[in-house]
């Protein structure tokens, strides 16, 4: 499998996981063995899988959403909850797609904002 296909698969897998709780446990937290092989921890939670959240505010100080980082380095995958887009990059490969939040990611971002 090449990097473009691997990135596509990982972004699509995250999109599937964010749609329902059944897929969520099977996705988070991946442990890298090598590029083509992932081992999944089914007890991991959404909060444990998030590496960082950058909050997005408008000029009036209203919270609009967040950029949620799930993995970085190879590949880097983040979710923009304001635009409802998952973005993945890996070297020169880039892929993005919309997602449906069925697990409360948007709510988690809004509730965890510092102000």
Which tokens is 111 given? 């509730």
Number of domains in the chain: 1
Q: What is the per-residue pLDDT across 48-103, written as a single tens digit (0 to 9) for each?
A: 788 999 999 999 999 999 999 999 988 999 999 999 999 999 999 999 999 999 88
- Assess if residue 13 is contained within a domain: yes
Range of the domain at 66: 3-100
Output the pTM of the full model.
0.79
The rounded distance, in Å, linking the Cα atoms of 36 and 66 is 29
- Assess if residue 15 is contained within a domain: yes
- Assess if residue 47 is contained within a domain: yes
- Assess if residue 71 is contained within a domain: yes
């Amino acid at each position: 499998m090449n990097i473009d296909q691997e990135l596509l698969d990982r972004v699509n897998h995250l999109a599937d996981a964010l749609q329902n709780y059944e897929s969520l446990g099977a996705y988070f937290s991946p442990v890298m063995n090598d590029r083509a092989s992932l081992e999944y921890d089914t007890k991991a939670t959404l909060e444990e899988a998030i590496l960082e959240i950058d909050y997005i505010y408008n000029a009036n100080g209203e919270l609009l959403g967040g950029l949620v980082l799930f993995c970085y380095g190879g590949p880097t995958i983040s979710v923009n909850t304001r635009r409802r887009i998952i973005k993945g990059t890996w070297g020169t490969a880039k892929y993005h797609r919309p997602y449906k939040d069925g697990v409360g990611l948007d709510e988690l971002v809004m509730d965890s904002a510092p102000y």
